[in-house]
Every structure is written in structure tokens, then in C-alpha cells.
């Protein structure tokens, strides 16, 4: 099995345009719109950043780290063996892959994702 890697961070903002301009100015990042309400920055190294709107920005759930896995079913089974109610949501991101949002023991949510094969 390949190593799991932090691959994406979903960044929630109340004003996407304002936050995008701030991040582009501070870090010299460039965001591309991939959906009506989703912008992605692909830095030359490190995790991708997805910027989207949310009324909960600034609260505890404003960031969603996403960790890639080569086998989402096996990873979900390991999660469920440790904590039967830890998976908050599962789904398919069209054209991207399968994901599961997971609660850690303190209730913080992160996401695991298995990208579709190219």
C-alpha cells in the first residue's frame, strides 16, 4: 500500500472573492475556478487548496484536510473498526474520486479520498 498523504485542504470563506484576493496577494497563489462555487490552487509543491463559500467560515469547521488513500474501502474499514460512528459522510466527487468524511476521537473532521485512475 502506498503512503497516505495530505493532498488537499478545503478552505471555507464567507466571501470567496475577498479571501481569494487575500491569499493570492499574500502567497502569490493563483486560483482557477473549477465549479460555480469552487476555486482550486495547485501550488508547485504541497497540498492543493480548494476555496469555497460557507456560512460557517471562521468557526471550528472552516478547514477540511483531505488525505489521499489508495484503497478507500480498506481505510474506511479500519476507521469503523476503531470507531463505529466515526464516518460522517461518504460520496463520489464526479471526475475526481470517492471520499469519506471522518470524525477523529475529539470530533474534528477530516476527509479521506481515493482519486480515480487516470
Task: With CA atoms as reference, report the closest residue to 51 among 25, 12, 99, 96.
Answer: 12
Rg over alpha carbons for the chain, rounded to the nearest Å, is: 15
* DSSP assignment string, 62-79: SEEEEEE-S-HHHHHHHH
Q: What is the pTM of this model?
A: 0.70
Grade residue 118 by pLDDT with cuts at 50, 70 and 90: low
Does pLDDT of 31 surpass 90? yes
User: What pLDDT shows up at residue 73?
Assistant: 95
pLDDT in tens, 67-78: 889 999 999 999
Q: What percent of the chain has pLDDT over 70?
A: 92
Amino acid at each position: 500500500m502506498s503512503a497516505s498523504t495530505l493532498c488537499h485542504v478545503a478552505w471555507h470563506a464567507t466571501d470567496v472573492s475577498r479571501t481569494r484576493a487575500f491569499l493570492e496577494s499574500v502567497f502569490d497563489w493563483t486560483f482557477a475556478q473549477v465549479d460555480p462555487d469552487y476555486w482550486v490552487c495547485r501550488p508547485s509543491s504541497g497540498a492543493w487548496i480548494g476555496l469555497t463559500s460557507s456560512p460557517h467560515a471562521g468557526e471550528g469547521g472552516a478547514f477540511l484536510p483531505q488525505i489521499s488513500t489508495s484503497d478507500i474501502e480498506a481505510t474506511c474499514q479500519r476507521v469503523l473498526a476503531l470507531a463505529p460512528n466515526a464516518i460522517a459522510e461518504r460520496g463520489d466527487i464526479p471526475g475526481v474520486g470517492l471520499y469519506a468524511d471522518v470524525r477523529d476521537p475529539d470530533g474534528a473532521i477530516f476527509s479521506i479520498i481515493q482519486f480515480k485512475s487516470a
